[in-house]
Chain A
């Protein structure tokens, strides 16, 4: 998030795209609802009829996967009606001309054809978001990012925010809601194939030199492989062993069967986890790890807030914190990593990562700090990009609409999409062990629109089989307006309904994020 959770109440207009904070981020959802109660206008761009969609001043029920077209269409309206922020564009951005050229063809008629959104609604929401002088924030979730065009979507969001001068303003900004507790931190720490800690790209020889002298080792400067490409690489014989910490690709990866086949093929698999996951069952070595309540450390939240994690109880058996396992293993492999404590590691992180430079355990003893914190007296950054962007001028990177990878056809006539239920989390390995949560949401229900239910002669509680080109799952149904006509939704928390047998593993060309949110399926009554 460029802005903060506490900032939400300041917004005049909030535009939510592909995010249902009520289920994904309930406490942030609560603040959004309170802002709306307080008079903040709400635009919801979402194919699903979420509670936010129902409360919205404008619910834009787009055709799934058409966000780029919609956002380009909005920008075209904003430019055409000349309600964009000239001063911001002139002084703080570059490449505006290209944005104008690319968005030109997204006329309301063209946009309506792709997205199903009427010209009237398109103009209304464009005007509302652009509202000169108003504080307008964008919130988006995985509904925007989990597409083969996820990066394009995100770029368009940045484009429209800059065009309207909504960056660097309290109550404004571009605010992705990160799905997991420490996605932000894992990226910050350089657990990425294409950057070192602190987002230093692999082309930065100066950074490499610094790391090499600090770590006393020659580092590889060749690019690495993203996780989502690893499966193909295994099938192609280019990767032969895997070390997996805390992941369960057998359940989590799109087109899961593809991943399972790959895991069967590799020479050596190490899984380090807190539970015996389906992936761990296939491992050659399983290492027991301490969970969040059994170790010290930090998480970095979606608002870039670095906060303490503290040991409250002992790990079970002889399980150990992940970092300790790596240190011991590294020593055995001839590279010594000696740390007394998590605080020691954090001190090294702060010394290497510019965003974390001014953070230490003592400073975040009570309340976490929001990066960037460039020095030890800096109070943290509540709103980013005030006055100027970190890297000079904001660059418009316009993108064209690309249709989803898999269109519906006569054989697979419906769209399939996945998401969360508010009481459950990910693949249920954590939440499904609490009886009260099971009482709230005991099984994965396929959500189907009443129109489709009538057409397929389905009623609540019926079992259906859902088949895609990659696999099939069975689930019971519930009938609800939350699902658009022609769309089936299933939450992904239940191993019994392994939705990723259906999903598509085509990847975004830049971030390599998979197209979780759309594939085409066939639904049959059982």
Chain B
């Protein structure tokens, strides 16, 4: 029997014996709940989030247990209800202890789902790992070789032994995809018909182009040089990134359908107004910072005194500037160090880096300094150039000793010259690396729009930090041209954000922002309880195979050779999987976000109470995340769970929780699907889904004849997990262990991938054309020689109806025999 009730002013029909919550759910009206599951009994400790106001009653009631009555009027949303719910969520959050996102993910400037791609690697899903990286970084080859690895500095594994070699894993993934010429099938959104011009084909320009193209825009890149890559090609020596790798990397990006115009110099060959006139809907400027800051000493203009970027570019172009046998590099940044290493490779006997502060004060990465030293670069620290003079034997460089002042108000010690401490060295070449600017003394001389582009004091383009917009409508800029020289990954992030802003500008849609809401087991290492890592055995990181410096310095081939697959797998196995594998599903988190809970104000779990239990064959339990909603208990159809609490605290939260699986457990995993947090999880579902789209494909289980309906949750081309819909016949959410977990075979490496023909006793790979021609010819001959009934076919009780139908049709028509049967009896 059905009755009428009104919810939020809408009249709906409800079943007479149901609850308000049931009625609302059936009518598609959302009422939050953490504990209720449709079709199952209510929790003994209700979460009370489902409270609603019923007309005529003083206090709100729990809709999960309040029966409907004909004509009743219910309100589900009000300030009072929201406040009540918010307080409840804050209480539960107060003891919820875990990490939503892993520290590596949070520390990465690009916010890459680091834990996710490491987990894909651990599962052997390298292609998917690559796609996950490229969702936020289209330069995995380059970044995998040059990144300063912000992520690794925050890796919790440091508290056990050493950080996970995250960047080496990333490089492995990229190199593996290149070695196998994997087509990543990176899709683009439907074409928008909008056109974007990108000036500059370096990391900034190509990153913007990549994400704009993926959003369906028509992108044209204008590149001044004859090849793509920008500073990666012309500013970094080949032993860091080989041109072959860079070619592959840029071609992967271009494969999205991006067009490139080479040898197009902004200001000479085109202007901003010209681009506007050609109908581009937006322009992105990512021209980098190529102009060297001048060396401000007498003699800086002598022959054989070069800027580092000019020198490196000459080497990259195969026409190295003359260097002689002795060289000094002035500066302490990464480019100075790479210049020094390049000089050694150019045959210079004696290379000295001169820097005004101490070695630890050098801005260059300490790893790079160490590598340069190992290769034979010498260092002259706390010294500064005074002047350079031409002498008959080459150049005379006058240096002066420096010392560091007492710390100033900000605690910084500045170098100052020690009077009378000058010193002369005789050399052939001086190369200086004082940093770079986007623009030199003159701006781009194209007149018009260029004239009015606003520049910063540091001769960079001015752009809004929020949306990368310049002062001119429709023109955006990001990367080194705005910020001055930064790391590749920082440029990539800036350009990706700019692409988002351009998309929102040309489409007139708001920019999506990600919530920064995050539970954490401790923001700094000091905050993290070491008991989190009990039982984790020390396992040191894999050592990157490296050519010995004395050999490496003899050529421009790469110094670091990359992880083997075995090493990458071992290294990925070291990941502690800090972030929650239920990131996407966690209802406590999504409700807290919806209710604008501020954990910093209201608090979150601070201490580890329970140790993680991984003894179950397919499930893992982390009761630190449990909010005692009892969904696991109430959805288990096997009575296999024993969930108890020793008591409850003054706010009604469970204490001393225990969750055990008894002998009834058949590992069906349904409880994990019902969990409202990440307390109960499928052990194999170790890849957290952060913001990546996951599609759900309904299909039929391939195991026994019960015909259970399953949902394959698929990210790109990888089955992430199998679930079941509790409302779907014939199994109504029930699955066995095979149905829910036994799908690793689908994408297993042992799958047959190409036709094989036996030749000389061996099965060898063949094309479809070859294989089918061969089969057709043999059957044709055998049929002609011995008659059709000497051929028999076995069809398959696991294949589809369509496959079986076509096979019997093939046997009966093309071959002409009824010798067709299948394994129904086997």
Q: What residues of chain A have their CB less than 8 Å away from a CB belonging to chain B?
A: 4-6, 22, 24-28, 30, 34, 145-146, 150, 177-194, 197, 202, 215, 217, 219-220, 222-228, 230, 233, 238-247, 249, 252-254, 267-268, 270, 273-276, 280-281, 283-289, 291-303, 305-314, 316-323, 325-330, 332-335, 337, 339, 342, 345-346, 348-349, 366-368, 422-425, 429-431, 433-437, 439-440, 508, 511-514, 516
B691 at the interface (CB under 8 A from A): no
Query: What does the 1/0 interface line of B752-786 toward A look like (CB < 8 Å)?
Result: 11111110000100001001111110111010001
Q: B662 to nearest A CB, angstroms?
A: 14
Measured CB to CB, the nearest residue on chain A to B684 is A436
Given contacts A268-B779, A293-B746, A298-B800, contact A27 B758 (CB under 8 A): no
Query: What does the 1/0 interface line of B802-826 toward A look like (CB < 8 Å)?
Result: 1111111111111111111111111
B191 at the interface (CB under 8 A from A): no
Residues of B within 8 A of A333 (CB): 776, 779-780, 814-815
Q: A185 to nearest B CB, angstroms?
A: 4
Q: How many A-B residue pairs have CB under 8 A?
A: 467
Of B305-313, B446-454, B787-795, the one contacting chain A is: B787-795
* Known contacts A284-B758, A312-B712, A330-B810; 17 further A-B pairs (Cβ under 8 A): A186-B799, A219-B812, A226-B825, A246-B799, A288-B753, A289-B752, A303-B730, A312-B699, A318-B755, A333-B780, A335-B810, A345-B806, A349-B802, A368-B730, A433-B744, A434-B684, A436-B684
Q: B141 to nearest A CB, angstroms?
A: 24
Q: What residues of chain B have their CB less than 8 Å away from a CB belonging to chain A?
A: 185, 617-618, 637-638, 666-668, 683-684, 695, 697-709, 712, 714, 717-719, 728-731, 734-739, 741-748, 750-758, 763, 768, 771-776, 778-780, 782, 786, 788-826
Q: Which 7 A-B pairs have the closest CB atoms?
A: A317-B753, A301-B707, A224-B818, A297-B800, A246-B796, A178-B705, A26-B736
**B707 adjacent to A303 (CB under 8 Å):** yes
A-B contact pairs, 8 of them (CB 8 A): A191-B808, A219-B813, A219-B816, A240-B791, A292-B699, A305-B730, A337-B813, A440-B617
**A243 adjacent to B793 (CB under 8 Å):** yes
**B753 adjacent to A327 (CB under 8 Å):** no
**B825 adjacent to A291 (CB under 8 Å):** no
Residues of B within 8 A of A191 (CB): 795, 804-805, 807-808, 820-822
**B826 adjacent to A434 (CB under 8 Å):** no
**A202 adjacent to B754 (CB under 8 Å):** no
**A299 adjacent to B790 (CB under 8 Å):** no
Partner of B819, one of A178, A224, A287: A224
Identify which of A27, A30, A435, A439 gathers the most chain B CB atoms within 10 Å of its CB: A27
A26 to B637, CA, bound (A): 12
Q: B794 to nearest A CB, angstroms?
A: 5
Measured CB to CB, the nearest residue on chain A to B823 is A247
**A302 adjacent to B824 (CB under 8 Å):** no
Residues of B within 8 A of A6 (CB): 729-730
Partner of B637, one of A30, A179, A322, A348: A30
**A181 adjacent to B703 (CB under 8 Å):** yes
Given contacts A6-B729, A252-B823, contact A309 B699 (CB under 8 A): yes
Measured CB to CB, the nearest residue on chain A to B637 is A30
Q: B311 to nearest A CB, angstroms?
A: 47
**B796 adjacent to A197 (CB under 8 Å):** no
A320 to B755, CA, bound (A): 10
Given contacts A291-B702, A329-B776, contact A192 B822 (CB under 8 A): yes
Measured CB to CB, the nearest residue on chain B to A420 is B704
A248 to B193, CA, bound (A): 53
Q: A516 to nearest B CB, angstroms?
A: 8
**B807 adjacent to A326 (CB under 8 Å):** yes
Measured CB to CB, the nearest residue on chain B to A215 is B813
**B775 adjacent to A514 (CB under 8 Å):** no
**A34 adjacent to B792 (CB under 8 Å):** no
Residues of A within 8 A of B618 (CB): 436-437, 439-440
Residues of A within 8 A of B807 (CB): 191, 245, 322-323, 326
Measured CB to CB, the nearest residue on chain B to A248 is B823
Residues of B within 8 A of A292 (CB): 699-700, 702, 746, 798, 800
Partner of A220, one of B738, B753, B805, B816: B816
**B818 adjacent to A423 (CB under 8 Å):** no
**A27 adjacent to B796 (CB under 8 Å):** no
Given contacts A224-B818, A239-B819, contact A313 B806 (CB under 8 A): no
Residues of B within 8 A of A286 (CB): 752, 755-756, 763
**A275 adjacent to B750 (CB under 8 Å):** yes
**A273 adjacent to B737 (CB under 8 Å):** no
**B734 adjacent to A27 (CB under 8 Å):** yes
Partner of B617, one of A183, A329, A439: A439
Partner of B751, one of A240, A245, A274, A308: A274
Residues of B within 8 A of A429 (CB): 745
Residues of B within 8 A of A217 (CB): 813
Residues of B within 8 A of A334 (CB): 814
Partner of B803, one of A215, A252, A297, A301: A297
Partner of A241, one of B729, B752, B791: B791
**B772 adjacent to A321 (CB under 8 Å):** no
**B712 adjacent to A293 (CB under 8 Å):** yes
A512 to B741, CA, bound (A): 34
Residues of B within 8 A of A293 (CB): 697, 699, 702, 712, 719, 743, 746
Measured CB to CB, the nearest residue on chain B to A194 is B818
A72 to B737, CA, bound (A): 38
A6 to B666, CA, bound (A): 21
**B714 adjacent to A313 (CB under 8 Å):** yes
A295 to B803, CA, bound (A): 10
Partner of A186, one of B712, B819, B822: B822
Residues of A within 8 A of B819 (CB): 193, 224-225, 230, 239
Partner of B717, one of A245, A314, A436: A314
Q: B641 to nearest A CB, angstroms?
A: 15
Partner of A316, one of B753, B804, B824: B753
**B793 adjacent to A244 (CB under 8 Å):** yes
Measured CB to CB, the nearest residue on chain B to A225 is B819
**A241 adjacent to B782 (CB under 8 Å):** yes
**B825 adjacent to A228 (CB under 8 Å):** yes
**B791 adjacent to A182 (CB under 8 Å):** no
**B797 adjacent to A180 (CB under 8 Å):** yes
Given contacts A215-B813, A299-B700, A329-B810, contact A309 B743 (CB under 8 A): no
Q: A357 to nearest B CB, angstroms?
A: 14
Residues of B within 8 A of A368 (CB): 700, 707, 729-730
Measured CB to CB, the nearest residue on chain B to A306 is B801
Q: A507 to nearest B CB, angstroms?
A: 8
Partner of B719, one of A281, A312, A511: A312
**A287 adjacent to B782 (CB under 8 Å):** no
Given contacts A26-B666, A239-B791, contact A436 B752 (CB under 8 A): no
A291 to B743, CA, bound (A): 11
Given contacts A181-B797, A186-B795, A285-B775, contact A241 B790 (CB under 8 A): yes
Partner of A335, one of B705, B709, B804, B814: B814
A177 to B706, CA, bound (A): 8
Measured CB to CB, the nearest residue on chain A to B746 is A293
Residues of B within 8 A of A305 (CB): 707, 730
Residues of A within 8 A of B731 (CB): 5, 27
**B698 adjacent to A514 (CB under 8 Å):** no
A501 to B510, CA, bound (A): 68
A335 to B811, CA, bound (A): 11
A334 to B338, CA, bound (A): 67
Q: B708 to nearest A CB, angstroms?
A: 5
Identify which of A25, A233, A316 gathers the most chain B CB atoms within 10 Å of its CB: A316
Partner of A182, one of B730, B786, B801, B817: B801
Partner of A185, one of B712, B801, B809: B801
Residues of A within 8 A of B701 (CB): 181
A181 to B742, CA, bound (A): 14
A301 to B739, CA, bound (A): 14
**A193 adjacent to B738 (CB under 8 Å):** no
Residues of A within 8 A of B719 (CB): 293, 312-313
Partner of B794, one of A244, A274, A291: A244
